[in-house]
Amino acid sequence: MKFIKTTICAATLMTASAAMTAEVSGNVALGSEYFFRGVDQSGGAALSGGFDVNFDSGLYIGTWASSIDFSNGPELDYYIGYGGSITDAVSFDVGYLMYGYPGDTSNDFNEFYGSVSFGDATVGMAYSDDYFASTGETTYLYIDYGFDIAENMSIGLHYGTISADDDEAYDAVFEDTIADYSVTLSTSAAGLGIDFSLINSNGSGALDADTEFAVTISKSL
């Protein structure tokens, strides 16, 4: 946590000339559910939002927060990364992300992440040396694919799977949640983004998604 905060501060304190090439953006969203990798985080409606600073070099820093129901406070994340293009059709993104839970810091964890996009498809991974609630070393692999079906409508497909070095510690918290799936229909109206998602996971625990339907309304700032 100290590392990511120090890095973010250092990046923010760049020279004035460099700062003028930065673009600041924000977002806010209200969802009927908040699932993360197939596990329920909110137990119902969730309010979320964040801010990003993107530099012309490809460097970016940001923060994102969401209401949750298992801690006395929100989830509060910080990240720093770098993205760019390899060719006109291939791009990449790498970075470091800190997941914070001010209401119970024992749940805090960090991840290194990376992805490569080929046209409409993205293949990515995230690695943590000690996952949520000290459940040990994990690697999350995923693939996303999106395509337009109309002028103002698109479909997004997602599949992800997580492997844990310490299966007993992981299963004690997540009850065998290994893979998650989702299909999302996205559109917009009146300046708002609207997502309709079907989310599922192959876990057996009470918090695992079981063909859950979620609606998220978002606004870019």
- Written as tens digits, the pLDDT of the chain (221 aa) is 444 444 544 554 444 444 458 999 999 999 999 999 999 999 999 999 999 999 999 999 999 999 999 989 999 999 999 999 999 999 999 999 999 999 999 999 999 999 999 999 999 999 999 999 999 999 999 999 999 999 999 999 999 999 999 988 998 888 877 899 999 999 999 999 999 999 999 987 888 999 999 999 999 99
**Are 184 and 155 within 8 A, CB to CB?**
yes
Domain count, the chain: 1
Can you give the residue range of the structural domain that contains 66? 2-220
- In terms of phi and psi (left: phi > 0; alpha: psi -120 to 50; beta: otherwise), the region of 21 is alpha
Is pTM, for the whole model, over 0.85?
yes
CATH of the domain at 59: 2.40.160.40
Q: Would you state the pLDDT for residue 2?
A: 47
Q: How far apart are CA 64 and CA 136, in angstroms?
A: 24
Q: Would you state the pLDDT for residue 15?
A: 42
